[in-house]
Structure 1
Amino acid sequence: MRIAMIGTGYVGLVSGTCFSEFGIQVVCVDKDARKIDLLRQNVMPIYEPGLDELVAANVEANRLSFTTDLKSAVAEADAVFIAVGTPSRRGDGHADLSYVYAAAEEIADALNGYTVIVTKSTVPVSTGDEVERIIRARRPDAEFDVVSNPEFLREGSAINDFLRPDRVVIGTESERARKVMKQLYRVLYLIETPIVFTSRRTSELIKYAGNTFLATKISFINEIADLCEKVGADVHDVAKGIGLDGRIGKKFLHPGPGYGGSCFPKDTLALVQTARDFNSPLSIIEQVIAVNDRRKKSMADRVVAACGGSVSGKAIAVLGLTFKPNTDDMRDSPSIDIVAGLIGAGATVRTFDPEGMGEAKKLLPSQVIYCDDAYATLPGAECLVIVTEWNEFRAIDLDRVKTLLAAPRIVDLRNVYEPAEMQELGFEYYSIGRV
Structure 2
Amino acid sequence: MYKIAVLGTGYVGLTTGIGLANFGSNVLCLDIEKEKVAKLKEGIMPIYEPGMEVLLRENKKSGRLNFSTDIGEGIKWADIIFIAVGTPQGEDGRADLTAVFNAAELIGKDINGYKIIVTKSTVPIGTNEKIKKIISSADTGDHEFDVVSNPEFLREGKAMYDFQHPDRVVIGTDNQRPVEAMRKIYRPLYLNEVPFVLTDFRTAELIKYSSNCFLAMKVAFINEIARLCDVVGADVQVAAKAIGMDGRIGSKFLHPSPGYGGSCFPKDTEALAAFSRDADMPLMLVETTIESNKKQKQYMVEKISKSLGKLDGARLGILGLAFKSETDDMREASSIVIINKLLEEGAEVKAFDPQAMDNAMKIWGDRITYGTDEYDLVEHTDAVVILTEWNQFRNLDLEKIANLMRGKLFFDFRNIYKPEEVETWGLKYIGMGQKV
Pairwise TM-score range, normalised by the shorter structure: over 0.9
Which residue does the alignment assign to 2:79? Answer: 78
Superposed displacement of residue 275, structure 1: 0.7
Superposed displacement of residue 365, structure 1: 6.2
Which residue does the alignment assign to 1:116? Answer: 116
Superposed displacement of residue 421, structure 1: 2.0
Which residue does the alignment assign to 1:69? Answer: 70
Alignment of 1:306-317 (within 5 A): 306-307=307-308, 309-317=309-317
Establish whether residue 334 from structure 1 lines up as the match of residue 331 from structure 2: no
What SS does the aligned partner of 2:177 have?
A: helix
Q: How many residues align?
A: 433
| Alpha-carbon distance between aligned partners in 2 of 1:177 and 1:366, rounded to the nearest angstrom | 53
Supply the AA of the counterpart residue of 2:24: G
- The answer (yes or no) to whether the contact 2:110–2:139 under 8 Å persists in 1 is no
Which residue does the alignment assign to 1:166? Answer: 167
| Alpha-carbon distance between aligned partners in 2 of 1:55 and 1:349, rounded to the nearest angstrom | 37
- The answer (yes or no) to whether the contact 1:6–1:30 under 8 Å persists in 2 is yes
Supply the AA of the counterpart residue of 2:430: Y
- The answer (yes or no) to whether the contact 1:336–1:364 under 8 Å persists in 2 is no
Which residue does the alignment assign to 1:139? Answer: 139
- The answer (yes or no) to whether the contact 2:385–2:413 under 8 Å persists in 1 is yes
- The answer (yes or no) to whether the contact 2:422–2:429 under 8 Å persists in 1 is yes
CA shift digits 1:333-392 (9 cap, x unpaired): 000011111111111111100000111122236411012111111111000000101111
- The answer (yes or no) to whether the contact 1:306–1:411 under 8 Å persists in 2 is no
Which runs of 5 or more structure 2 residues have no equivalent in the other structure? none
- The answer (yes or no) to whether the contact 2:3–2:26 under 8 Å persists in 1 is yes
Which residue does the alignment assign to 1:222? Answer: 223
| Alpha-carbon distance between aligned partners in 2 of 1:119 and 1:328, rounded to the nearest angstrom | 25
| Alpha-carbon distance between aligned partners in 1 of 2:261 and 2:431, rounded to the nearest angstrom | 19
Which residue does the alignment assign to 2:7? Answer: 6
- The answer (yes or no) to whether the contact 1:114–1:142 under 8 Å persists in 2 is yes
What SS does the aligned partner of 2:28 have?
A: strand
Supply the AA of the counterpart residue of 1:399: E
CA shift digits 1:87-118 (9 cap, x unpaired): 0012x100000000000000111112111101
Which residue does the alignment assign to 2:240? Answer: 239
Superposed displacement of residue 420, structure 1: 2.0
| Alpha-carbon distance between aligned partners in 2 of 1:197 and 1:209, rounded to the nearest angstrom | 17
What SS does the aligned partner of 2:410 have?
A: strand
Alignment of 1:359-398 (within 5 A): 359-364=359-364, 366-398=366-398
Supply the AA of the counterpart residue of 1:378: V
Supply the AA of the counterpart residue of 1:104: A
Superposed displacement of residue 408, structure 1: 2.1
Supply the AA of the counterpart residue of 2:70: D
Identity of paired residues, percent? Answer: 49
Which residue does the alignment assign to 1:205? Answer: 206
| Alpha-carbon distance between aligned partners in 2 of 1:257 and 1:377, rounded to the nearest angstrom | 20
- The answer (yes or no) to whether the contact 2:262–2:323 under 8 Å persists in 1 is yes
| Alpha-carbon distance between aligned partners in 2 of 1:319 and 1:24, rounded to the nearest angstrom | 41
Bigger CA drift: 366-375 or 157-166? 366-375
- The answer (yes or no) to whether the contact 1:340–1:365 under 8 Å persists in 2 is no
Supply the AA of the counterpart residue of 1:382: D
- The answer (yes or no) to whether the contact 1:18–1:162 under 8 Å persists in 2 is yes
| Alpha-carbon distance between aligned partners in 2 of 1:36 and 1:275, rounded to the nearest angstrom | 38
Which residue does the alignment assign to 2:181? Answer: 180
Bigger CA drift: 343-352 or 16-25? 343-352
| Alpha-carbon distance between aligned partners in 2 of 1:46 and 1:246, rounded to the nearest angstrom | 36
Which residue does the alignment assign to 1:406? Answer: 406
- The answer (yes or no) to whether the contact 1:328–1:355 under 8 Å persists in 2 is yes
Which residue does the alignment assign to 2:305? Answer: 304
What SS does the aligned partner of 1:175 have?
A: coil
Supply the AA of the counterpart residue of 1:56: R
Which runs of 5 or more structure 1 residues have no equivalent in the other structure? none
| Alpha-carbon distance between aligned partners in 2 of 1:45 and 1:305, rounded to the nearest angstrom | 40
Following superposition, which runs of at least 4 residues in structure 1 exceed 3 angstroms of deviation?
Answer: none
Which residue does the alignment assign to 2:323? Answer: 323
CA shift digits 1:105-160 (9 cap, x unpaired): 00111112111101100000000010001011111601101110000110000000
Q: CA RMSD in A?
A: 1.0
Which residue does the alignment assign to 1:37? Answer: 38
Which residue does the alignment assign to 1:156? Answer: 157
Supply the AA of the counterpart residue of 2:259: G
Superposed displacement of residue 180, structure 1: 1.3
Supply the AA of the counterpart residue of 1:34: E
Which residue does the alignment assign to 1:276? Answer: 277
- The answer (yes or no) to whether the contact 1:300–1:337 under 8 Å persists in 2 is no
Superposed displacement of residue 276, structure 1: 1.1
| Alpha-carbon distance between aligned partners in 2 of 1:293 and 1:45, rounded to the nearest angstrom | 30
- The answer (yes or no) to whether the contact 1:17–1:54 under 8 Å persists in 2 is yes
Bigger CA drift: 166-175 or 211-220? 166-175
Q: Which TM-score applies when normalising by structure 1? A: 0.98
| Alpha-carbon distance between aligned partners in 2 of 1:420 and 1:397, rounded to the nearest angstrom | 14
Alignment of 1:19-38 (within 5 A): 19-38=20-39
